[in-house]
Structure 1
């Protein structure tokens, strides 16, 4: 029987800011019911939602649930949240991630246009070419040598695709690659987080200046045009770049990493994928369900008091709500008693929240799926005997309770099939 911290007299569950055991914490939170009281870093009280069905109901209540702290988090607007709160980067930014209502529609529009089907389809040959070039480079590694696949492949591919989307000049590519990860490191001090934000803002400003001088058919030019037309202010322009570069990179890196681990440690399922007895599209959905690339999403706010009839829970106006996608992906009410198992034949694999739901659903979801499908299919076709160089339990996670991924990915490639 599940229980809720408030009804048992227990104190709120304190979330681990280091993300040491994402799935262990998710399982512990599920024991308290569909949602429970937690403490975010800095002892900020919040609700953590772990039920897939409850999460879907809340995420689609567009008028009742907001992501705009300025409008709908009373403690924030009253100045009660410390200036050095380590998660302020997730509430202070002004882009489609943190906007509500008409502002959200305005800020999301240029991003949605950039990810329209024609532009996404046009990126497919680039994804294939980048994948092939990276794997050609990897081929120089001996079949029995250990290599960090994140540094060489899974961490590089998504940023190179974003470079293509934005047409980032060559001299800025390496600096962006080094700056993105710190935005998700929730264990950093406020000083370290501020320094990371200033570093990437400076890079974005340099990119904007370059793209003004070198416009093209790309997302950079579209966003700059929206700013020049008065549709975005200066901060909104920078923060919109930040959203796509940061989120588009980190989440896909994590998905690729989990795909490598899941498939290489389940050779029977890898065989199903390589032979395409199970289509790669279904394989990718199970990877996303089993290990959501984003573990916990910070943060949403109740615009008004909400009573959820199916669960009997009440969220008061101004309550902070975080959705634990990692927990929802293994909800036994949706996926049965085998929810913790990696199973590419699972009929409910597509029922996950890896890309969110409702008005804030990720605009780049289809591109991320394409990247994962091309990258993993090509990787295992080239190196079908690829294996981890360490036990899965010895893989070091990134230091974040938001981002669910690996700090590195040591593998042995084995002989090439080509």
Structure 2
């Protein structure tokens, strides 16, 4: 049973060392008591097997409006620093039949056929970004996150959604602020209001002038049958598409590059063909999951799991980065980057009906851009000491603030 006197781990909102924090959480077992920004008590699931169970257990709802007791009772106000994760109206907060309905509609954007058709666009974007990078001198310091890892997925998802190039920075800004857990409560609330307003205006512009894009398709489906997607759900779904299509993919690319640059023996194995790019990608997803700690789920009844009883209506977070490094699954080497390991089991994309709908696209982008980057710049290396690479500054995302590198074109220095 729950020991309420257990001292909760106060989550570091700056995300300075999510893996060390995960180790502290594991000391309580696979389910730990935590305190979120704003003093909100919650639970964190760090164990792989327990996380797998929670993700597949229909007793855990994602809908805060119906199933977060404190929010329903008015105890959680707009000053809650993570309020953006409560007010969304999309797959992130949908439960039951609503979740199934939204998933059916949005999953059509990421069918294998549609992802395959996007391959040439991804390759073109990659080539153009690499050409721009090549304009830098071999001794110049370049932020690979800002110049490559971020603009590549941002361009791909904005093309899919139909966001014009001149509008992309503004349209993506709301999602970037939403995952920044150092944002003040006032700024978080203002971001939600601005974010929703900008998206409503975007939808109306597409309603007036539709194009060959996902937004226009969703609007057409909505107008054919208004019950399929409400105006709020349409806006929320587009928020979700833009956010999850950019931030996690950016982190996957940057984390994979960083791991290879700091593990020369693994890079040599890759060059020699003893490990594959798929090995690198899956091991990156396991060892450095792009999403560290995702809110929220709420048990619809008291649930005994992982050695504790989580009361009905308590908020629960899944620690995806911790689950990938669970020693109970991966043994004492769980924290080591080793693409040759046989078992790379992870939950970086979720599981089952809650698996990320953008998973096929994310993998396809990584499979294209990572080999292309290292082919163009085979002697790519860090421009700063490894210990000077700073974390992203969020406990929700697991990424890097910047990735300073020095480039060398193909054949340079050989």
TM-score w.r.t. length of structure 1:
0.94
TM-aligned CA deviation for residue 6 of structure 1: 3.5
Aligned equivalent of 1:61: 57
CA contact (8 A) 2:107 2:357 kept: yes
Q: Per-residue CA shift, 1:170-227, capped at 9, x if unaligned?
A: 2212323444321101111122112323333343233323322343442112221233
TM-aligned CA deviation for residue 5 of structure 1: 9.2
User: CA 1:389/1:302 → structure 2, altered by over 3 Å: closer, same or farther?
Assistant: same
The runs of 5 or more residues in structure 1 that have no matched partner are: none
Aligned equivalent of 1:294: 291
Aligned equivalent of 2:29: 33
Q: Per-residue CA shift, 1:297-322, capped at 9, x if unaligned?
A: 101001112223xx432222112211
| Partners of 1:23 and 1:414 in 2: CA distance | 32
Q: Per-residue CA shift, 1:236-261, capped at 9, x if unaligned?
A: 11111000101221111111110110
Q: 2:362 aligns with which of 365, 368, 392?
A: 368
TM-aligned CA deviation for residue 404 of structure 1: 1.0
Aligned equivalent of 1:252: 249
Q: 1:398 aligns with which of 392, 396, 404?
A: 392
Aligned equivalent of 2:371: 377
Match status 1:12 vs 2:29 = no
**Partner secondary structure for residue 396 of structure 1:** coil
Match status 1:160 vs 2:160 = no
TM-aligned CA deviation for residue 264 of structure 1: 1.1
The runs of 5 or more residues in structure 2 that have no matched partner are: none
User: CA 1:180/1:276 → structure 2, altered by over 3 Å: closer, same or farther?
Assistant: farther
Aligned equivalent of 2:179: 184
Moved more, 138-147 or 222-231: 222-231
User: CA 1:392/1:139 → structure 2, altered by over 3 Å: closer, same or farther?
Assistant: same
Aligned equivalent of 1:340: 335
CA contact (8 A) 1:5 1:36 kept: no
Aligned equivalent of 1:265: 262
| Partners of 2:32 and 2:2 in 1: CA distance | 6
CA contact (8 A) 2:381 2:407 kept: yes
Match status 1:106 vs 2:101 = yes
Q: Per-residue CA shift, 1:259-318, capped at 9, x if unaligned?
A: 11001111221233344432211210001111111100101001112223xx43222211
Q: Per-residue CA shift, 1:129-178, capped at 9, x if unaligned?
A: 10111000000001111011111100110100102211222221232344
Give 4+ residue runs of structure 1 displaced > 6 Å after superposition: none
User: CA 1:36/1:49 → structure 2, altered by over 3 Å: closer, same or farther?
Assistant: same
**Partner secondary structure for residue 333 of structure 2:** coil
CA contact (8 A) 1:34 1:49 kept: yes
| Partners of 1:142 and 1:376 in 2: CA distance | 21
User: CA 1:179/1:307 → structure 2, altered by over 3 Å: closer, same or farther?
Assistant: closer
TM-aligned CA deviation for residue 11 of structure 1: 1.5
**Partner secondary structure for residue 314 of structure 1:** strand
Q: 2:236 aligns with which of 236, 239, 246?
A: 239
Kindly report the root-mean-square deviation, in angstroms, between the aligned alpha carbons of the 2 structures. 1.8
| Partners of 1:233 and 1:265 in 2: CA distance | 47
User: CA 1:319/1:5 → structure 2, altered by over 3 Å: closer, same or farther?
Assistant: closer
| Partners of 1:238 and 1:417 in 2: CA distance | 48
**Partner secondary structure for residue 294 of structure 2:** strand
Number of residue pairs matched by the alignment: 410
